[in-house]
Chain A
């Protein structure tokens, strides 16, 4: 799976599967073996309904697998409790979804500060300084105090990215993060993701059906009917 000479994977799974307990049972993801490398931009592609999002939720500890193992730095995560999984998400994972999911009652700065405050390593002014720095990195300096409904779609998505980066996570997981953006904003987000991987050494995993994005990825994971059918380094 991993190309020769690559660093050890930050996240890996073997035989990963997810079956919904319906009658008959619905299998969303089956028998997936993957290794996610730090410093690489991985794209998950495939036709609509093939299980890309379902796999991403499993990799991001949002959903629980019904088969297989998931390892973070070689440590098996399957036996962990819900609270332990939440603690890992808080510290190591950053999510960006198709819809920004900003909390409407909080301004941009406060939205970015939420995960920082929850982690509790920074306090008071340091939290605000960190949130400002992140908003600056995504090009939103000066818009910190705007509420989400006063921002454009592209700006909101960049606030969501800043929020995903808040606790300096090692993994960034995106589920069609550009799906709702025009081509200009879309390109900015992709540039940002590539930079997060190549310059900051994070593992970036992005579900997309935009071939333009898939072209720019370091690794392309192709899915069909809940299975990974090809992993291509490019």
Chain B
């Protein structure tokens, strides 16, 4: 049986070898499709992985805020009833919740007791920097350097200084390098900061955050937690807890558990970037649509080549049938033609795609003074997907005209020979 398949493939092979130009065009079509699929998907998957890595590592996996998702009913409404009450209340004075996370030590303990989780409390608030006649708003984040460095990658994003330097200098602050440049500040310089409460303190620049490729805003400044609490006049208060997990993808579940236990809004990185993640899905759909279109066009080439071959070979089909080849044999001959074209196209396309990826991978472009390379994902999975999709579409494209070959009636050909 297998020697019969070898014979049928031999016949198919000879047909292709003789029709060089048509064969080359069909192979070229598949090769271009496969090559571009590999290059495009390496780009798309590579940049997607890069984005997600940034999303996951740039900020804590979960941030617990001093907010409630649905504010509790005001005391007046709680006591006198809601919409169906006998008395409707209008225009009464609303009670403001005191901002800050209550019992935050208990929440932090729960976080740290969760396997694979670690928490870092922080207080954020706004101050105004004054230098000469200029004023510049600054979002202050008070942190415990030892904890914060375990929860976010801010420590890796410093151009100068380190988080520990905050402990060494009275009033130490780490600001974005862009902001420092705008204000003409250098390392070690002192600038006055005024909080909304009216407190003013001199701050000393002990570190600079790199700009670009980071989620840390250029208008934020990092201080020691207790110094921020004193500057913002909120002693012992924190309003955020950042959480890092060993398994970043557990963030949604852990955040949900924390929120349902303590009511404070606990936002996972997935929730924070849900718009972006759904954008990635759309992007993938577009990519696969484009790639399917390329493969479809490539299979048109195979369809044309095999159709023409069947039309040219009607005489040979008739003689093979009269000799004792079956209808199935002849159908296989032409399906083999299509598969051989697809296979050759896949191999050439792999080479082409690899070359394209090499070319893309060797490109360097400067981002904020550093050479960046395009992130590429060169997984064998993409090679296999391209091969399977091409062989499948090539097989179908060849099978359609091959059925015609099987239906050729040798009597018609023999009667009307030449």
Contacts and interface: CB of A to CB of B under 8 A. Distances in A.
B4 A89 contact: no
Chain B's interface size range is: 20 to 34
B319 A53 contact: no
B327 A62 contact: no
B136 interface: no
Interface in B323-362: 323-329
Contacts of B315: 101
Given A101-B315, A105-B17, A123-B3, A86 B414 contact: no
A118 interface: yes
Contact of B411 (A62, A82, A114, A123): A62
Highest count of chain B CB atoms <10 Å: which of A63, A86, A119, A123: A86
B323 A57 contact: no
A98 B417 contact: yes
A103 interface: yes
Contacts of A83: 326-328
Interface in A7-49: none
Contacts of A106: 14
B216 interface: no
Closest 5 CB pairs of A and B: A90-B324, A105-B14, A101-B319, A89-B324, A86-B326
B414 A62 contact: yes
B3 A117 contact: yes
A89 B316 CA distance: 16
Interface string B311-326: 0000110111111111
A103 B323 contact: no
Interface of A: 53, 57, 60, 62-63, 82-83, 86-91, 93, 95, 97-99, 101, 103-106, 114-115, 117-120, 123, 163, 175
Given A83-B328, A87-B324, A101-B319, A118 B411 contact: no
Contacts, number: 78
B415 interface: yes
28 contacts: A53-B415, A62-B414, A82-B326, A83-B326, A83-B327, A86-B324, A87-B324, A89-B323, A89-B324, A90-B324, A95-B322, A97-B319, A101-B315, A101-B417, A104-B316, A105-B15, A105-B17, A105-B18, A106-B14, A114-B323, A115-B323, A117-B3, A117-B4, A118-B4, A118-B323, A118-B324, A119-B324, A163-B323
B321 A86 contact: yes
A45 B320 CA distance: 27
A89 B417 contact: no
Given A104-B18, A105-B14, A119-B324, 12 more contacts: A53-B415, A57-B414, A60-B322, A87-B324, A88-B324, A89-B324, A95-B323, A101-B315, A103-B11, A105-B11, A114-B320, A123-B3
B375 interface: no
B83 interface: no
B324 A103 contact: no
Interface string B293-322: 000000000000000000000011011111
B418 interface: yes
Contacts of A53: 414-415
B321 to A, nearest CB: 7
Contacts of B410: 62
Contact of A120 (B4, B316, B322, B329): B4
Interface in B18-48: 18
